[in-house]
Chain A
Amino acid sequence: MAQNLTSRGRAVCSVLVLVVLVLFLTTNLVPVTEAIWLTIPTSGTKCVSEEIQNHVVVLADYYVVVDEAPQQYRTPTISVKVTSPYGNNLHHVENVTHGQFAFTTTESGSYLACFWLDGEHQEGVGATLNLDWRSGIAARDWDSVAKKQKVEGVELELIKLEGAVQAIHDNLNYLKDREAEMRQVSESTNSKVAWLSIMSLGVCIVVSALQLWHLKTYFRKKKLI
């Protein structure tokens, strides 16, 4: 555990040094890598999903985080499978330690990315995966925009902010459409409840009338009444 902490401390220092170096090399603002770490269990799969609308670019990078512990002689390998909401396979690789995938969504729904450890890993300890998943505005390539429009520095930052505002506007419209759809479903449920309850009274009356009529004819036939 102490070994982990000191090695982590060393890693943090080196990362900070690298970040300051990058700051000097580029005229951009503080670059922040936002990727999450997930733990992959020894058996079973770890799945993450996101509900994405149509025509959205999704970009993802993943790699297995190497632990400094001496017990692990080799990096555990994982298998990855990404599926679209209708079941199409978008990315499927086995026995890798890192990789990336990118796609543009053609249907709106829940996109699922599943990770699992390969069979040969026997140590009984799960692996840690670093996943950087971006969709929509976060997946946009600002470098090529900067080159095409020949902007840099503050102007590029302002163009990025403009992109963010446009994305907010588009998301608001999307939320508004979804709310309208849900309102329609609610109103149809409301009318169905009224209609079906009144019909249940009708069904009750019809069934009891049928009962009475049938029993009357039956008893008349049997000459009991």
Chain B
Amino acid sequence: MEVRSEKKMWMVLVMVTLSLVGKISSLSVTVNELECVYEYVLYEGDTVSGNFVVVDHDIFWSSDHPGIDFTVTSPAGNVVQTLKGVSGDKFDFKAPRSGMYKFCFHNPYSTPETVSFYIHVGHIPNEHDLAKDEHLDPVNVKIAELREALESVTAEQKYLKARDTRHRHTNESTQKRVIFYTLGEYLLLSIASGLQVIYIRQLFSKSVGYNRV
């Protein structure tokens, strides 16, 4: 067991050194009923920000689906943030403690939905960190603030991109529906009128006098 925890710590060290100013890209996951994503927050007081958009849904009448529920649970077990019945939103909170946070998407209906999400944990060194580490200049604080500001612009862009993807799906579905449904309508119209003609012919197929009996 000691060997395993050593191996885990070694891997974490390798990850930390490999990825210095790491960011996560916006990933999409299919939510059947409940999907949870975990993200580690290193420092207490870090700002956790992100967004999610429900991108792909096979609902026929769009008013049917009420959206999905989103919950953030802190490592202590209490719910930090919750959003119910939305098809996409931004979220933002200050982490009350460090640890593993759980971000859950709950789909109340049985049709699977694809959710595109983005989570970012931002840390700005404060005076406490400056005092601890001699290598950190006050300019590093300003650079960290700049980096977080640029990061929020990037997060907004990812949100816009996900919403644009959802809109594009709707547009493409509308175009397909327009073409197929109108062509189907023409076909059904011709078939209905053909059936009408056949029926009328059948009505008159026997002689008129026979019907008068």
Which residues of A are at the interface with B, using a C-beta cutoff of 8 A? 7-8, 10-12, 14-16, 18-20, 22-24, 26-39, 46-51, 61, 63, 65-66, 68, 70, 98, 110, 128, 132-138, 142, 154, 157-158, 160-161, 164-165, 167-168, 171-172, 174-175, 178-179, 181-182, 185-186, 188-189, 192-193, 196-197, 199-200, 203-204, 207-208, 210-211, 214-215, 218-219, 222, 224
Contact = CB atoms under 8 A, between A and B. Distances in A.
Interface of B: 1, 4-5, 7-9, 11-13, 15-30, 36-40, 42, 75, 98-100, 114, 116, 119-121, 123, 125, 129, 132-133, 135-137, 139-140, 143-144, 146-147, 150-151, 153-154, 157, 160-161, 164-165, 167-168, 171-172, 174-175, 178-179, 182, 185-186, 189-190, 193, 196-197, 200-201, 204, 208
A196 B175 CA distance: 12
Residue among B22, B37, B147, B190 facing the most chain A CB atoms (10 A cut-off): B22
A37 B12 CA distance: 13
Contacts of A137: 23
Contact of A18 (B1, B13, B24, B153): B13
11 contacts: A18-B9, A20-B132, A29-B140, A35-B19, A36-B37, A110-B28, A132-B22, A138-B25, A161-B146, A164-B147, A199-B182
Given A134-B23, A188-B175, A29 B5 contact: no
B25 A50 contact: yes
B123 A133 contact: no
Contacts of B25: 50, 133-136, 138
Nearest to B119: A36
